[in-house]
Amino acid sequence: MEKDKSSEYIEKLAIYFEKANFAEYIELLSKPWKFFWLQFIAGLLRGLGTAIGLTVVFAIIAYILISLLSRFINLPIIGEYIAKLVSIVNEALKSGVRY
């Protein structure tokens, strides 16, 4: 009876190690350069994925903000102000005023 419980426990443990790919993990740890390169490539891909993901998220946020701002801000008024400012600067340059 005691033998049945221990053998059942060992079988469960073996199934657990098999599901966890424990043998592959031990093999990987026994080859440090392979482990290093695998982790290096995984880190590069994680960084690339993060960069691409953040670019997409910020592009969406920028698109939403631009579309919202174009509805609420009257851009011709700003354009007129900038045109007036440019004409003032041009007149000052023609008259030779130095600041």
Q: pLDDT tens across 51-96, in order?
A: 999 999 999 999 988 887 777 666 666 778 888 888 988 888 888 7
User: Is position 98 within any domain?
Assistant: no
DSSP string covering the chain, please?
Answer: -HHHHHHHHHHHHHHHHHHTTHHHHHHHHT-HHHHHHHHHHHHHHHHHHHHHHHHHHHHHHHHHHHHHHHHHS-HHHHHHHHHHHHHHHHHHHHHT---
What is the number of structural domains in the chain? Answer: 1
The pLDDT value given to residue 30: 87
User: Is position 28 within any domain?
Assistant: yes
Range of the domain at 64: 2-73
The pLDDT value given to residue 73: 64
User: Is position 46 within any domain?
Assistant: yes
